[in-house]
Amino acid sequence: MVPELGHLALILALLIALVQAVFPLAGSLSGNRPWMAMARPLAYGQLTMIAIAFAALTQAFLTSDFSVLYVAENSNSLLPTIYKFSAVWGGHEGSLLLWVLFMACWGAAVAALSRNLPLTVMSRVISVQGMITVGFLLFMLLTSNPFERLFPVPQEGRDLNPLLQDPGLAIHPPMLYMGYVGFSVAFAFALAALIGGRLDAAWARWSRPWTTVAWIFLTIGIMLGSWWSYYELGWGGWWFWDPVENASLMPWLVGTALIHSLAVTEKRGAFKSWTVLLAICAFSLSLLGTFLVRSGVLTSVHAFATDPARGMFILLFLCVVVGGSLALYAWRAPEVSEGGRFDLLSRETSLLANNLLFVAFTVLVLFGTLAPLIYEAFDWGKISVGFPWFNKMFLALAPFMAILLGVGPAVRWKHDEPMRLLRTLWWALALSILVLVVSYLPAFSSGHLWVPVGLALAAWLVLAHVAVVLERLKNKGGLARMGPALLADLRGGGRSFYGMVIAHLGVAVFVVGVTMVSNFQHEEDVRLSPNASYELAGYRFEFLGAEAVPGPNYMAQRGHFKVYRGDRQIANLFPEKRAYLGGGMPMTEAAIDPGLFRDVYVSMGEAVGDKGDWAVRLYYKPFVRWIWLGAILMALGGVVTVSDPRYRMARAPARRPATSSAGGTSAATA
Amino acid sequence: MKARHKRMILVGVAILGVGAAASMALSALKSNIAYFFSPSQVLAGESPKDAVFRVGGLVVDHSLKRQEDGLTVRFNVTDNAGTVPVSYTGILPDLFGEGQGVVAKGRIGGDGVFYADEVLAKHDESYMPPEVADTLKTAQAENLVESTGKSLAPAAQTVAQ
**Which of B35, B124, B154 minimises the CB distance to A383?**
B35
Q: How far apart are CA A529 and CA A526, in angstroms?
A: 10
Give SS3 for B34: strand
* Cβ atoms of residues A606 and B91 within 8 Å: yes
CA-based Rg of chain B, rounded to a whole angstrom? 22
pLDDT over 60 (residue B125): no
Record: contact A299-B92, CB cut-off 8 A: no
Q: Are strands A598-608 and A568-573 parallel, antiparallel or unpaired?
A: unpaired
Nearest Cα of chain B lies from the Cα of A643 at a distance, in angstroms, of: 35
Q: Cα-Cα-Cα-Cα dihedral of A201, A205, A211, A212, to 10°?
A: 120
CA-to-CA distance for B66 and B93, rounded, in angstroms? 15
User: Which residue among A163, A382, A583 places its CB closest to the CB of B35?
Assistant: A382
Q: How far apart are CA A236 and CA A229, in angstroms?
A: 8
CA distances from A430 to A438, A444, A459, A473, A505 (A): 12, 19, 11, 22, 19
Residue of A364, A526, A586 with shortest CB distance to B21:
A364
How far apart CA B121 and CA B124 sit, in angstroms, is 9
B interface residues, A as partner, C-beta within 8 Å: 1, 3, 6, 9-10, 14, 17-18, 21, 24-25, 28-29, 32-36, 54, 66, 69-71, 89-92, 94-95, 103, 105, 120-127, 129-131, 134, 154
Question: A381–B36: do the CB atoms touch at under 8 Å?
Answer: yes
Contact A161 B130 (CB under 8 A): no
The whole-angstrom separation of Cα A376 and Cα A241 is 20
- What per-residue confidence (pLDDT) applies to A110? 92
Which pLDDT score is estimated for A512?
96
Determine whether the interchain pair B32/A388 forms a contact, defined as Cβ–Cβ distance below 8 Å.
yes
3-state secondary structure A242-267: CHHHHHHHHHHHHHHHHHHHHHHHHH
Flag whether pLDDT at B148 surpasses 50.
Answer: no
Chain A and chain B share a number of CB contacts under 8 A equal to: 117
Residues in B closer than 8 angstroms to A384, CB to CB, are 33-34, 36, 54, 105
Tell whether A393 is within 8 A of chain B (Cβ): yes
Angle, helix A272-295 to helix A167-196, in steps of 10 degrees: 140
Strand partners, A554: A580
Q: A645: cis peptide before it, omega within 30°?
A: no
Distance to chain B for A336, nearest Cα, Å: 19
Nearest to B54 among A384, A585, A603 (CB): A384
Contact B62, B79 (CB under 8 A): no
Q: Which residue has the higher pLDDT, B65 or A133?
A: A133
Contact list in B for residue A341 (CB cut-off 8 A) is 3
What pLDDT band is residue B25 in, cutting at 50, 70 and 90?
confident
Q: How far apart, in whole angstroms, are the C-alpha atoms of residue A213 and residue A487?
A: 24
Residue A383 at interface with chain B, using a CB cutoff of 8 Å: yes
- How high is the mean pLDDT in each 10-residue block of chain A (670 residues)? 93 96 93 92 96 96 93 89 90 90 95 87 94 93 90 85 80 90 94 86 88 96 91 80 88 96 87 90 89 64 60 84 90 68 85 91 91 83 85 91 93 89 92 93 82 95 94 78 76 86 96 94 90 91 92 89 92 90 78 92 85 89 95 96 75 39 35
Give the model's pLDDT for residue A668. 36
| Contact of A250 with A288, CB cutoff 8 Å | yes
CA of A387: which chain B residue's CA is closest?
B32
Domain ranges of chain B: 1-33, 35-160
User: Do the Cβ atoms of A56 and A5 come closer than 8 Å?
Assistant: yes
Burial environment of residue A13 by CB neighbours within 10 A (0 to 12, 13 to 18, 19 or more): buried
A145: Cα separation from own chain's centroid: 27
B108, B47 contact by CB (below 8 A): yes
Nearest C-alpha neighbor of A368 from the set A383, A358, A353: A383
With CB atoms and an 8 Å threshold, state whether B123 touches A301.
yes
Q: Residues A127, A196: contact at Cβ < 8 Å?
A: no
DSSP readout, B1-37?
Answer: --HHHHHHHHHHHHHHHHHHHHHHHHHHHHTTEEEEE
Phi, psi of A545 (to 5 degrees): 120, 170
Say what the pTM is. Answer: 0.89
Helix ranges, A408-449 (H): 418-440, 442-445
CA pair distance A129, A106, nearest whole angstrom:
9
Average pLDDT along chain B: 75
Q: Choose among B55, B47, B53, B45: nearest CA to B76.
A: B55
CA dist A285 and A125 (Å) reads 19
B143/chain A closest Cα distance in angstroms: 23
Confidence of residue B97 (pLDDT cuts 50, 70, 90): confident
d(CA A562, CA B98): 34
The CA distance from A49 to A16, in Å, is: 9
Q: Of the candidates B34, B69, B122, which has its C-beta nearest A301's C-beta? A: B122
Q: Note the pLDDT of residue A144.
A: 86
CA–CA separation, A29 vs B68, rounded Å?
A: 77
- In whole angstroms, what is the distance from residue A629 CA to residue A513 CA? 9
The CATH number assigned to the domain with range B35-160 reads: 2.40.50.140
Q: What whole-number distance in Å separates Cα of residue A247 and Cα of residue A103? A: 19
| Residues of chain A contacting B134 with CB distance shorter than 8 Å | 382
Under an 8 A CB cutoff, do A609 and B17 touch? Answer: no
A617 — contact with chain B (CB < 8 Å)? Answer: yes
Cα distance between residue A336 and residue A559, in whole Å: 65
Q: What b/e readout covers B38-73, taking b as 16+ CB neighbours within 10 angstroms?
A: bbbbbbeeebeeeebbbbbbbbbeebeeeeeebbeb
